Structure 1
Amino acid sequence: MLLSVADQTAFDRVSECHPQWTGMCRVSDVIAGDAKLLLHAGPPFSAVDTIPAPVMNSLCVSAVWEGWADSYDQARQMINQGLIRVEPAQDHHIVVPLAGVVSPSMQLMVIADANNPAAKKYSVLNEGMVHCTRLGKLDPELQAHLRWLNGELSDWIANRLEQPIDLLPVIAAALGDGDDCHGRTIAGSALIADQLFKATSGDIPEEIETFLNGAMAFALNIWMASSSLMMSAAEGVEGASLITKAAGNGYDFGVQVAAKPGLWITMAAPEVKGAIDEAHTGRRAVGAIGDSAVVDFIGLGGQVLNTATASYEGLKAYLPEDALNRPEKALAATLTGFGSRPAMTSARQVVENQGGPMVLLGMIEDRGESGRIGGGVVDVPVSFFRNVLDEAGL
């Protein structure tokens, strides 16, 4: 039950949002100017020397891909000298997973509110399961993959979005098939791929068909942008404690609250607790990283483990005892679009009920050598939400 009129007003705005995938655009169409600017997940870095190795690797990959540097070493020097700027993607209405980076020549999926078409959020295409900037490695195959992803694949997809894809029904169907829409996105990715294939007249290029059929996390970036769009509908409601942004950069973890748009409230990035794959025994992961935390904070991911049984079974050794009761503790009210599940993290309710949201995250190796080394969960502490209320003056 909502604890304030302001939170109710903010939640009502969220419930009116109807996200649709309406098309593709270039990053430079969204962010004006000629500056050398790269965007990362999470809140801003306080200094360049706090950027974790995986994020720095992805920044360097993107700088070379843009043609700003001839080598990764040169790119790193330019970043360290401030010749290439880095800023949070969410501050520009874009979301990016894990250690991924957004650069001006990349293509973005446009997610718009059918009831307010001017309201839009964006995400890069999910890169698949092999060559991914989100893994934070200096992968020699990434340059070619980025060219294909932002060329042939994005052009093919753009031509199949003449009719927008309504996303809430797909989310509800994916949840019904056992997805949590963060750690597990298999059903949702297949549903999205099927809609793209059905919009095709003529043969589907074999490389594209193979990629989409094998990209089990393809829907994640779409769910991220949809979550970000819906959460942002609550922004600007005076006195409201609903969380409208949430993310980690591997060094810090931060949120924004409805009453104070633009104000990042941060803590040290918490540990992701989970099993490290046997092949990576002895390696360590960076702290919580990625804009995908928005999926969990809106009420998916770690908040739907009661229906996402495969996710629950894989993580239960690392979950708190009250894991299946967290939704009723942390989330504001029932959202019809999520199959009548609870949604929207309320800082007030987290503090009142002594239970915060759980975030399902990949574990990215801290030296930038091994990429994803496992998967786990972050139990965002109640003490952080007390600080959120204090810093937001609520």
Structure 2
Amino acid sequence: MNMKHPTIKKQVFEFIIRNGLVSKAALMDKMTVTSTSLSRLLEELLTDGLILASELGLSTGGRKPILYRVNPDHRAVFGLEISRFSSSIGLYDLNLKPLSFERWKMDEKMTPEALVAKITKLAEQMLMDCGIDREKVIGIGIGAVGPLSREDGIMLKPRYFPAEGWSNVPICEWLEQRLGLTALLDNGANTAIIGEHWALRNEEVKHMLYVHAGVGLRTSMIASGQIVRGAVDMEGSFGQMIIQTDGPRLGDEGNYGALEALVSIPALEKKIRSQLKLGRASSLSGIPPEQVQFDALQKAYRAKDAFITEQFLQTATYLGIGIANLINILHPEAVILGGPLVNAHKSIYDTVIQVARSNIYYSPQYEPKFTQGQLTEDAVTAGAALMLLQEWELN
């Protein structure tokens, strides 16, 4: 796959994808191209089978204008999420409509080799079930837990996977060999925001912040419609923001007083286990503290366990402060919050937003829109497919 700057032909194609039904006049307003050249490009796209021109627009007198739309069945693309709790794969048409989708839990048996074998089997079954030839598939986009090397297609040293072996995994090379398809890797926060930005395309949001709170803290940012990238993979950097000087440390690495030590599933489990060992009253007191997992914490919260509620809302407060810090630096128009911690209960999400809003410096003149997103838990997978589609160079 060639990663060159998109050609005018590709820009025309992408504009049609994003806008659905498009007239030549609408394209002329957006493209720096002559009418003759645009007609030629549209004819090429029609001949290639990438677009259709089967619908007519409203006339203002004279002939009705032709409206162009993407041919969704011309090609297909896979999107893949690799995460700690669960992973998923989807097969999408050119309108990013899911043709087939599968999600599964990650456990101690799901080594990288086992995962690749599962993905290969699922992908081949999806193509067979949907009647799609492999030659029609553009490739597979991957949104994975970082840190990673996007350029080399390698997952470097992600933490907290249930299975062994998740270090320096050349995931793109392995999948390309097994599937015979081009593979492209990025961190899941980036593919999620690509997907959510696509879902909100009619609102023309130019500056967007995405925050995922779960086993770790993952963030991404779109500015002026483009992903913001640093010199290294930035996915987990939000978790290293220092909130409490000389505060706790999560595990044996990272900053002391970092946000991830106060706001993450491992941090929440660690704190609650410690308090239960000291005899803190809770509906979970009958469970050995070392066996208390996040699923049990969610159930206790929903059952209005006073101690567990206190811990969740304290976590939500710290997360709100961290998000306010990001907002005060980046000033996004929209903030999308996701992940198991935020999605555990609406009251947790509401608390995060309330705390964040109360600490925005320019409020009330400036206030971003908060949302849990349109694609929610499917954002990483759909965004990974879209990422690959955006990189695809038309012949």
Band the TM-score falls in, shorter-chain normalisation: under 0.3
Q: For CA contacts below 8 A with separation 6 or more, give which structure has more relative contact order.
A: 1
TM-score with structure 1 length normalisation?
0.27
TM-score with structure 2 length normalisation?
0.27
